[in-house]
Structures are given as structure tokens and as C-alpha cells.
A and B are shown apart, each in its own frame.
Chain A
Amino acid sequence: MRATIRIGKWLFLAAALVISFFPFYWMARTSVAGHDEVFSAEFSFLPESITFEAYARAWTDGALGNAMLVGLLVTFAILALQLLTCIPAAYVLAMHRRRWTGKLFGFVLLCLLIPGQVTMIPLFIGINQFRLGDTLAALILPFATSVLGTFMIRNQMMSIPRALMEASEMDGLGPVRTMISVVVPMAKPGIAAFSVYSIFVHWNDYMWPLLAARSPEIQTPPLALAIFQDAATGFDYPALAAGAAIVTVPIIIVFLVAQRHFVRGMSGTEITG
């Protein structure tokens, strides 16, 4: 009986593994298969012939080198700004509760309810009024803070025992030093989880860069890949898959690095005093 359950669990996990890895495998397979083989009716696990021609095409036609540099710059600049703004905001909302902080937090949460499309055009107008249209700043500044980030980091900070705040008050650390030396290290899982989320979202963002970045020099990876999706005449699937594979690599690296913290942050960390 026990053994059956064990085997069942293993089978379930194995199935989950296959389901989650299959798209990656298929992406890799498509990227090295010829264009005509993409439309083959018969399923074959390995392509008949392997060619890396699609990678070359993706890299040069999509100008992926430059796009990845821009993407990294934009993504990490956004993350840095978001952490600079969200951490102090979350800290005040979580640790210095007053009568108005509850209302203020409710107000911040309301922002989560507003869909992105609603603010996109006003944001675009605003960015252009600052004469930042079609610049790197236009890709970065609108995301200088994140409501979700404030929310996630605040929630993490809420789990820090009150007594630690009092200990730091008795130690005379002051609010800023308390934040840096006590609260931030203890909120690390939440900060890491949000960081991974932010990097994912902004690395993959398409609509805003499509509006804000018109010059080829500042185009991000998703825009670079768009060139292979010809809506009218069909997609260049091998190049698209090769491009996607190249563009996914940094994200996988980020996830592997942050994985430990990320998983803890998602499951709600336990802090012992």
C-alpha cells in the first residue's frame, strides 16, 4: 500500500517534470530542425537533421546581441530602482504603522486593480512631456517603483517579530540603520522572490517597449524576436525558437541563482528569534 503511494507520487512528479520540460525541449528541437520539418505530421523525438543555421539567423537578423545588452541594462536598472523605492515604502507600511498607514496601504493596493492598458497611453504622454520618448529612460522610469513589490516585501516584513524592532530601538539603531541592518536581511526571501518576478516581467515585457522604444538601438529581446513573427504570411518558427532559446538563457541563470530564496519567499518564510 505504502509502496503504491510512493510509486504514485514518483509517477506524478515524473509527469510534472515531463510536462514542464517538454516546451523547452520542443523549443530546442524546433530551433535545430529545418523549416520544412517543423510542419511534419509525424512526431519524431529527434529531428532528422540538425542545423544551427536558425541560431545564426536569430542572432544576426534579430540583432539579439544588442537587444540582450539593452534588455539586461533595462531589467537591472528597473530592479535597482524598484528595490530602492519599494523597500523603504514596504518598511514604513509594515513597521511604522499609524492610523493612516492602513489607509495608505489600501490605496497602494488599489493600484493593483488598475489594468496596465489603462495607464499605458497616459504614461506614454507623460514620458514624452518629459522629452524622454524613445530613450532608455522611457523604458526604465515608468517602472521605477512597483506596487506589487511594495506589497510582497511588506508582507515579508510583517513576519518579522515586533520584539526585534524594539531590540533595534533599544540598540539605538534608528529607522534607517534598522532597515538596512535588521529588516532587509530578514526580508531577503521576499525581496529575492520579487526580484526574480520583476526580472521575468521586464525581460519579457513587450507592449510597453513596443510603444516606447522605436529606435533599433534600444530594442529589447521580445521586440527583437517580433521580427520572426510575421502575422500575415506565417512565422519563421526555427528562428523564433532559436531566438527564444538564446533569450531564455539569462532568465534561467537568474532563476537558478535566486531559486533558494525564491522558493522560500513564495512559501512564506519562518523566522525564528
Chain B
Amino acid sequence: MTAVHISNVNKNFGQVKALEDINLEVQSGENIAILGPSGSGKSTLLRTIAGLETVDTGEIRFGGELQNRIPPEARDVAIVFQSYALYPHLSSRENITLGLRHGKKLSRAKADARATDIATRMQVEHLLDRKPRQMSGGQRQRIALARALARRSSIVLLDEPLSGLDAQLHASLRVEIAGLLQSVGATGINVTHDQADAMAMASRIAVINKGRIEQLGTPEELYRQPQTLFVAGFVGTPPMNLFAVDPATRASPFGAHVGGGDEPVTLGVRPERFHAGEGDPRSPEVWRTGGTVVLIEPTGRERIVHLQLPSRESFALLMDSDSVPAIGEHLSVWCERSHVHVYSNTTEQRLGNARERGVSLHEHALVSSM
């Protein structure tokens, strides 16, 4: 059981900043996910933890011990590669035992015993004598995981462990992997571009973009209070609607705004916070807008309805399946002021919700002043 501490890590590939000032603490036995789009630096971060890449500056510590100069095989870490990286000419058993025998210097008998043990635990004993090309994608993934777990490392890294698997397998395997990591008590770090995977497998998620960690938090925190514009636009299905406020007129699709200072801002509202209709016409807490229905996406229990504004921008809201408008119909919607997130355009950081910031609509300000 080992905690991972990453502090002030920087890594450049030539002119490209791959990792910028990364700070991350992973508790012993915790399972965290590193979530980001492709090219965000998430795999690089994983590889620096594994030791496959060096860091330019900064420190990586396992259980307090500095790892920077320790080669990968000497670190207390195992990795499951994105493409499984099973040796194609070897059977599953040999794939699992090769590193144990020649890297960890275990005897053949001990290595075989470990392979059998982990395979039994994962219910893949029947695959031990097969070669990779004789197995399905899911079977290969399980063997790759078995190879990593057989090392009995305190830290297990998973690089896009579920990519390339079909949806059904995807859902069952992520639960299985999370459970396995928990049962062996390993500290798990898995890299993914899929927020559903991240949320299902991890207790905390680090959202990474352009080599920087945008936000680190529990899935709820990420959902409730996305700290940056990027997280707001990346997390959630569909993601948060973002509305620019015209810096000159201070107008948004909700109307003209007053209060909240002079800083140029962007407003964000989650699709599920919009309601159809007019809301309470007298309440200053109710903000209204509307648009033409252009697209309706069924998702089962609910529908995602896309509305187009006169400015031709569109936004989404969630509606129950039984009250769906027709395409082309005009729909009025409203939300509560406290559900409107305010982001600075300059720092891209969250400033608070509209109520906290004292942002109100011009019409309400007039009403209250009368």
C-alpha cells in the first residue's frame, strides 16, 4: 500500500509542453482516474509515473521515496498497456511469468504458482496455455491485467484499459477491474478519455488538458462545480451549456445583465437545470430564454432537446420522454439563477454561481428598484 506524490512535474518534448506543473497526490489504496482528451498529456503522466519517461523538473515519490532516478523495473509499479502489449509468441502463462522469472528472479515453480494463483482469482485459468492470437480482446485484456497484478506491485497503472472493447464488455470489465484493484489493495491510476469509465472506476478524477491538471475531485465535485471552462465543457453527457456574455452590451441569451463586476464572463448551465415553460414570472431567481427545436436525441428515460437561438448558437436541455416538443416549434425555457455558473473569460476559472456573484437581469433590477 503506497501513496503516490507528484509535485511540480514538468516535461517537454522539444518545444511541446507535455506536462506543466503537475501536482497530484494519490492516497494509498485509492483508485483515481486521469481523464482528458487525446493529446492532453495523460498518457505521458502515466509513463512518467511508471518510469518509462523521465521528468524534466519536479518530483515523483512513492510512499515518500523519490523515484526520479529509479528505472521502471525497480519501481513498485505495474502497468497495463493500452494495446495490452502481450508477447505474441508466448502463451498467457509465459507472458505472466517471463518478467517474474527474469526480472523478479523468481524460480520457475514460484512464478508458475503465482500465474496460476492470479489466473484462478480472475477465472482465466483456461486461457493460460493460449497464445494472444487465440484469444478475444477481452480475454487478452484480462491476461494483460493478470500479468500486471502478478507482479504484486503496490501501484497499478492502467493506460486506456477498456479502449477497443465492445460496449457490453466495456461496462462489465470496468467494474471487474475496479473490484480487482480494490481486492488486492493496490493504488490504482488509470488513464482514460471516457468520463463514464473514469466515474465508474475511480474515487477521484483528475481532469487534464494541454498538460495541466484542470481539476481534481470526486465525480460529484466535477459535476456540481466544474472549476474551469474546460471541465465544464468536457464533463457531463451532454456537457454544460456555455453562453458568452457580450462584453459591450453585457447581454446573454437570458437578457441584459447587471452586477457582478466588470470582468468579461461566460455563463454555464447544465442541460438538466433547464425547465420548459415560463417559471414564476415575478421571481428574480428565474432566468428565461428560448429557441427553436432543431434536434431531439432519445437516451432512453429522457430526451436531449437541442434549441437554436436567434444567434444560431444552440444549447441542450433534458426533458422527460412524455413531454417532448416537435421539431421547428418554439420552446421557452427557464432556470434558477443559482444554477447558472459564472466563469471568467480571462482565467477560465469558475467565479461562483450567478446568485453568489450578484449577477442579475436588467429587467429584474428595474423591477426591484421600482
**Which residues of A does B touch, CB under 8 Å?**
161, 163-164, 166-174, 177, 181-182, 185-186, 271-273
Contact = CB atoms under 8 A, between A and B. Distances in A.
Nearest to B94: A181
Among the interface residues B52, B83, B85, which one has the most CB atoms of the partner chain A within 10 A?
B85
A173 B103 contact: yes
Interface of B: 50, 52, 71-74, 77-79, 81-90, 98-99, 102-104, 132-133
A175 to B, nearest CB: 12
A186 B86 CA distance: 12
6 contacts: A164-B87, A170-B79, A170-B99, A173-B99, A186-B88, A273-B83
Contacts of B71: 169
A273 B73 contact: no
Which secondary structure dominates chain A's binding surface? helix
- Of B78, B79, B98, B132, most buried by chain A (CB within 10 Å of CB) is B98
Given A173-B98, A272-B132, A163 B85 contact: yes
Given A163-B81, A177-B102, A181-B98, A170 B73 contact: yes
Contact of B133 (A182, A185, A272): A272
A166 B81 contact: yes
Given A172-B102, A181-B102, 18 more contacts: A163-B81, A163-B83, A164-B85, A164-B87, A167-B85, A167-B87, A169-B72, A170-B72, A170-B78, A170-B79, A172-B73, A172-B99, A174-B102, A177-B102, A181-B87, A182-B87, A272-B88, A272-B132
B52 A166 contact: yes
Contacts, number: 70
B73 A271 contact: no
Contacts of A169: 52, 71-73
Given A170-B73, A177-B102, A185 B89 contact: yes
Contacts of B84: 273
Contacts of B98: 168, 171, 173, 181
Contacts of B104: 172
List the 7 closest pairs (A to B, CB-CB), nearest first: A172-B103, A171-B99, A172-B73, A163-B85, A167-B85, A185-B89, A171-B103
A185 to B, nearest CB: 4
A177 B99 CA distance: 10
Given A171-B103, A181-B102, A166 B85 contact: yes
Given A181-B102, A272-B132, A273-B132, A171 B73 contact: yes
Contact of B102 (A163, A173, A271, A273): A173
Contact of B81 (A167, A185, A272): A167
Contacts of B102: 171-174, 177, 181
A273 B83 CA distance: 7
A174 B78 CA distance: 16
B81 to A, nearest CB: 5
Contacts of A173: 73, 98-99, 102-103
Contacts of A185: 89-90
A168 B50 CA distance: 13
Nearest to A165: B85
Contacts of B72: 169-170, 172
Contacts of A167: 81, 85-87
Given A164-B87, A185-B89, A273-B84, A170 B132 contact: no
A107 B348 CA distance: 53
B74 A273 contact: no
Nearest to A271: B88
Nearest to A162: B85
B72 to A, nearest CB: 5
Contacts of A166: 52, 79, 81, 85
Nearest to A184: B89
A157 to B, nearest CB: 14
Nearest to A171: B99
A186 B52 contact: no
B48 to A, nearest CB: 13
